[in-house]
């Protein structure tokens, strides 16, 4: 298949099913060159952030099913070893590919294997702390690994920090590229002689002399690049050189997000993760999402209190903070894909007298639980962590389901965990959190905020008290009406309302808990519910939330049937 044909396949599938478009379009030639130079059945290709791996899926035996991308039972949205042996690892979270690849390479070295291990990592992923730890460990862990640095100057929102500027200087530096070209020409002429080793040594020293920076070489990797990431011949040549070299190598590849699809090239942020679309136009964005409600509420509080600052890990648009950055750029911190650093940084801000508000997806907060405990909760610092996409997120699948935050965080002393049921409630909870002299987690799901509802009438003798986390409170009300019960909005998950729970038990009600989180360690476990409805002890695959709720018996009909059984 040609690059154009692959791009057409990607655009066609994403236009019908939604998905990550701009990043995958930018990595087409990388996937083609990897597939040409390496053996997908034997060599191990590890994609860091697998949403750029659509072309890899197409080229490694999944073209015939690619139209099922992100559908229930279809092609997974990220690399998944159970789907294909060409997928070396699960690849949904940024920054871990190099560590995983080092493990694969070290295992190969010790078992006498002859396969190659390649880590494909983005310019924003490489600034993650785990990536730097892996770079530091390269020389001691293995003698041979290949790192492909896909430099497209973009994270989900935009690149952040000094390392991005360093890569930019490498690409555009006239002195470097002139020296590099001359050194490579000399090296190719000498490649069959004993002088080749001397060339590599001289090349390394020249880079250090003219750039004043030998970061990768000092960490044990030979640097090759920059290489045009859309020139297939140049890529295959660079990958072949890296493959034949006996040492660890990093190949710096420069690509353009959205390549081959003009709307995505013009605005890669808007076309990063999209729903179904027609032609070159995205559907009009629906307002009234939880992220929008959070962003608007936080902006209002920031106007009243100069201590309020906002933090994100490369996700300002997805978490609703774009408006905050425009209004208060000096009080906005984008730390890049570095969630652990972000929580510790927030702790420092709070200790210094600020009121930091961290906006993070539930699936990415998992990467910073230690810092939330060690650097925030132990000192009881007033950090507000707003957990977006809490609950099942649907088509992004197993690596992105936000099901585990309650179970992970409920055990931490000093921490208050709350969940709103509507936009007004979210604003009130945010206000309370900013006044609290301790840490608060506010969790809310993906999607639209429901309308505010009036209180229901309570049956004379309710059968059940149905406790529900905020996003499922509407479902609880529906079930309560069909079972002669009362719905309870579990506004505060930790500490829960023990007095209300006691009074309901004393009134003879059975306690039911329904929560958009895992049952193990969840709210139902905390309150000792007689019936606990939540996501079971298995990883939840991709599919629409409605499909998944029905499949796992968590829709209103299924729960009502059990309670009326």
Q: What pLDDT shows up at residue 503?
A: 96
Average pLDDT over residues 314-328: 93
In this prediction, what percent of the chain has a pLDDT beyond 90? 63
Contact 453, 397 (CB under 8 A): no
Average the pLDDT over each of 205-219, 267-281, 455-469 and give the range with the smallest value: 205-219
Burial class (CB in 10 A: 0-12, 13-18, 19+), 152: buried
pLDDT (tens digit per residue) in 378-423? 999 999 999 999 999 988 888 899 999 999 999 999 999 999 999 9
Residue 179 has pLDDT above 60, yes or no: no
Residue 470 has pLDDT above 60, yes or no: yes
CATH classification of the domain holding 163: 3.40.50.970
Q: What pLDDT shows up at residue 209?
A: 39
Residue 117 has pLDDT above 60, yes or no: yes
Average pLDDT of the chain is 87
Element (H, E) at 333: strand 332-334
CATH classification of the domain holding 478: 3.40.50.920
Same domain, yes or no, for 357 and 227? Answer: no
Domain count, the chain: 3
Same domain, yes or no, for 212 and 324? Answer: no
Range of the domain at 218: 3-254
Which of 123-137, 144-158, 448-462, 468-482 ranks highest by mean pLDDT?
A: 468-482
Same domain, yes or no, for 67 and 29? Answer: yes
Q: What pLDDT shows up at residue 184?
A: 55
Q: Looking at per-residue confidence, does 66 or 271 come out higher?
A: 66
For 448, residues 6+ apart whose C-beta sits below 8 A from its C-beta are: 286, 288, 289, 290
As a whole number of angstroms, the distance between CA 412 and CA 395 comes to 31
Q: What pLDDT shows up at residue 180?
A: 53
Query: 186 falls in which pLDDT band (50, 70, 90)?
Result: low
Flag whether 278 is in a domain: no
Q: Point out the residues that are catalytic.
A: 257, 339, 367
The encoded tokens of residue 187 equal: 């090296």
pLDDT (tens digit per residue) in 497-545? 999 999 999 999 999 999 999 999 999 999 999 999 999 999 999 999 9
Same domain, yes or no, for 147 and 198? Answer: yes
Angle between helices 232-244 and 28-37 (to 10 degrees): 40
In this prediction, what percent of the chain has a pLDDT beyond 70? 89
Q: Looking at per-residue confidence, does 486 or 336 come out higher?
A: 486
Same domain, yes or no, for 172 and 68? Answer: yes
Average pLDDT over residues 262-277: 86
Give which of 46, 49, 93, 54 is closest to 399, Cα–Cα: 93
Same domain, yes or no, for 509 and 555? Answer: yes
pTM of the full predicted structure?
0.84
């Amino acid at each position: 298949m040609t690059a154009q044909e692959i791009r057409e396949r990607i655009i066609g599938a994403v236009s019908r099913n939604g998905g990550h478009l701009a990043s995958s379009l930018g990595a087409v030639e990388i996937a083609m060159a990897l597939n040409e130079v390496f053996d997908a059945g034997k060599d191990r290709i590890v994609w860091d952030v697998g949403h750029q791996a659509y072309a890899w899926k197409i080229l490694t035996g999944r073209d015939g099913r690619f139209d099922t991308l992100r559908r229930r039972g279809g092609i997974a949205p990220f690399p998944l070893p159970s789907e294909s042996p060409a997928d070396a690892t699960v690849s949904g979270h940024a920054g871990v590919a190099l560590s995983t690849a080092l493990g694969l390479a070290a295992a190969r070295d010790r078992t006498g294997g002859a396969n190659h291990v390649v880590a494909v990592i983005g310019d924003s992923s490489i600034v993650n702390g785990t990536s730097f730890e892996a770079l530091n460990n390269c020389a001691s862990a293995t003698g041979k690994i290949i790192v492909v640095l896909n430099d497209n100057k973009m994270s989900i929102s935009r690149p952040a920090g000094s390392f991005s500027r360093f890569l930019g200087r490498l690409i555009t530096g006239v002195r470097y590229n002139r020296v590099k070209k001359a050194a490579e020409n000399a090296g190719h002429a000498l490649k069959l002689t004993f002088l080749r080793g001397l060339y590599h040594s001289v090349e390394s020293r020249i880079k250090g002399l003219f750039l004043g920076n030998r970061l990768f070489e000092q960490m044990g990797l030979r640097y090759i690049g920059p290489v045009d990431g859309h020139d297939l011949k140049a890529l295959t040549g660079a990958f072949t050189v890296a493959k034949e070299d006996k040492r660890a190598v990093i190949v710096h590849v420069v690509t353009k997000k959205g390549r081959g699809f003009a709307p995505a090239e013009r605005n890669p942020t808007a076309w990063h993760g999209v729903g179904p679309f027609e032609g070159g136009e995205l559907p009009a964005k629906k307002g009234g999402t939880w992220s929008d409600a959070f962003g608007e509420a936080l902006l209002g509080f920031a106007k009243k209190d100069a201590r309020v600052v906002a933090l994100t890990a490369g996700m300002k648009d997805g978490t609703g903070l774009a408006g905050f950055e425009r209004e208060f750029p000096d009080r906005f911190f984008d730390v890049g894909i570095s969630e652990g650093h972000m929580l510790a940084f927030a702790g420092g801000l709070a200790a210094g007298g600020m009121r930091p508000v961290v906006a993070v997806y539930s699936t990415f907060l998992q990467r910073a639980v230690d810092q939330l405990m060690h650097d925030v909760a132990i000192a009881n610092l007033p950090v507000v962590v707003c957990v977006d996409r809490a609950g099942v997120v649907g088509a992004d699948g197993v690596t992105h389901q936000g099901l585990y935050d309650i179970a992970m965080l409920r055990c931490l002393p000093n921490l208050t965990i709350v969940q709103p049921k509507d936009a007004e409630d979210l604003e009130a909870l945010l206000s309370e959190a900013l006044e609290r002299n301790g840490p608060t987690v506010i969790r809310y799901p993906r999607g639209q905020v429901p309308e505010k509802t009036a209180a229901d009438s309570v049956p004379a003798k309710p059968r059940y008290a149905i406790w529900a986390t905020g996003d499922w409170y509407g479902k609880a009300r529906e079930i309560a009406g069909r079972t002669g019960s009362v719905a309870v909005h579990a506004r505060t998950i930790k500490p829960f309302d023990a007095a209300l729970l006691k009074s309901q038990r004393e009134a003879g009600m059975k306690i039911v808990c329904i929560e958009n989180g895992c049952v193990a360690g969840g709210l139902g476990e905390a309150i000792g519910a007689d019936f606990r409805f939540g996501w079971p002890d298995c990883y939840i695959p991709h599919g629409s939330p409605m499909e998944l709720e029905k499949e796992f018996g968590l829709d209103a009909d299924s729960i009502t049937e059990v309670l009326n059984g």
